């Protein structure tokens, strides 16, 4: 009889495989625990900021929405709306979840609508789909396989790290570091023929203001993203909920508007030019924490201010017309 039946007594490839498996299981548990703690704190903050008899706004998104605590854009939006001089009271509920794709958001939206009973839903979603839907066909067999993997946080983490390492290895050589540590693109002094591109003069060269690298990939939408987006909008509209679709900072809203089927029933908020103008004056670091596009306190305030203006204009317009 063998003296030791423990699998750890084996040497070579089997022992290495077991160690790798245990490490992955530990990492998966740690990431899930961190996610549960984050969501618990987020829900506690939502309840603590509840306003009795208020107009409830549900913000759905990824880490760009979720991060920041009291300085996140939903928190600053609630403060801005409640200090806009209106007699209305507002409660803004932050249900942003880091790393979520539109598939996960679509899966949970019905539960959120039942739980919070919002009068308005704001969507700023889809940037994670660029990473996770790139190689996903829309056929059901491939979709099921992908969605199973997509539930594994360790898989998502390593997939993102792998993508970042490939992107950094292929970074164009002509890009140089700007004064604020972010990447800017030197361009020749030529007449500006495209009004959608902001170009600012400095003493040394002309710089085209570019969004954080993670946002630059939002140039087209995967069929699964389109389906998820429209399913969520249709669900909210069928329940009589006002739908606001907001584009990420410094990204054109036009491609997003083009994929929405019920666009005539949706309020679109464009954050392209207001951020390009601000970044052109003060630099990316003033408004973005990193090249993933996570917002600083000032960036979230700029987003919330632009959004609150559009919301109040829409509410006032509907009030006058009624």
pLDDT at 28: 62
CATH of domain 49-321: 3.40.50.1110
Helix axes 153-169, 140-150, angle to 10 degrees: 100
Does pTM top 0.85 for this prediction? no
Per-residue pLDDT of the chain (322 residues; tens, 9 = 90+): 455 555 555 556 776 776 677 666 666 665 555 555 545 555 556 565 666 678 999 999 999 999 888 899 999 999 999 998 888 999 999 999 888 899 999 999 999 999 999 999 999 999 988 877 765 555 555 555 555 555 565 665 566 566 556 555 555 433 333 344 333 333 332 232 333 334 444 434 444 688 888 888 888 898 889 999 999 999 999 999 999 999 999 999 999 999 999 999 999 999 999 999 999 999 999 999 988 899 999 999 999 999 999 999 988 776 545 4
Domain ranges in the chain are 49-321
Helix axes 102-116, 223-238, angle to 10 degrees: 10
pLDDT at 134: 60
pLDDT at 290: 86
- Of the candidates 252, 246, 306, 240, the residue with the CA atom closest to the CA atom of residue 274: 306
pLDDT at 74: 95
Q: Name the CA dihedral angle for 260, 292, 144, 245, rounded to a multiple of 10 degrees.
A: -20
């Amino acid at each position: 009889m063998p003296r030791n039946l423990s699998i750890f007594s084996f040497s070579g490839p089997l022992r290495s495989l077991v160690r790798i498996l245990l490490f992955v299981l530990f990492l998966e548990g740690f990431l899930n625990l961190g996610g549960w703690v984050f969501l618990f704190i987020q829900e506690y903050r939502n309840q603590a900021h509840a306003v009795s008899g208020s107009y409830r706004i549900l913000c759905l998104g990824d880490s760009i929405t979720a991060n920041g605590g009291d300085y996140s854009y939903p928190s600053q939006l609630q403060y801005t709306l409640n200090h806009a001089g209106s007699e209305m009271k507002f409660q803004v509920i932050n249900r942003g979840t880091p790393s979520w794709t539109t598939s996960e958001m679509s899966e949970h939206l019905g539960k959120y609508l039942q739980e919070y009973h919002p009068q308005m839903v704001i969507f700023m979603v889809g940037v994670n789909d660029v990473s996770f839907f790139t190689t996903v066909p829309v056929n059901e067999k491939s979709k099921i396989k992908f969605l199973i993997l997509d539930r594994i946080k360790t898989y998502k983490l390593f997939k993102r790290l792998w993508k970042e390492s490939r992107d950094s290895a292929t970074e164009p050589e002509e890009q140089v570091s700007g004064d604020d540590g972010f990447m800017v693109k030197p361009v020749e002094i030529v007449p500006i023929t495209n009004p959608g591109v902001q170009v600012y003069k400095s003493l040394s060269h002309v710089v085209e203001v570019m969004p954080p690298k993670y946002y630059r990939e939002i140039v087209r939408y995967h069929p699964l993203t389109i389906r998820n987006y429209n399913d969520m909008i249709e669900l909210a509209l069928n329940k009589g909920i006002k739908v606001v679709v907001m584009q990420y900072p410094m990204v054109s809203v036009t491609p997003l508007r083009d994929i929405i089927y019920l666009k005539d029933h949706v309020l679109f908020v464009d954050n392209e030019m207001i951020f390009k103008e601000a970044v052109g004056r003060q630099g990316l670091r003033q408004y973005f924490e990193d090249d993933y596009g996570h917002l600083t306190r000032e960036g979230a305030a700029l987003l919330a201010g632009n959004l609150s203006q559009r919301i109040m204009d829409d509410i006032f317009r509907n009030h006058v017309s009624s």
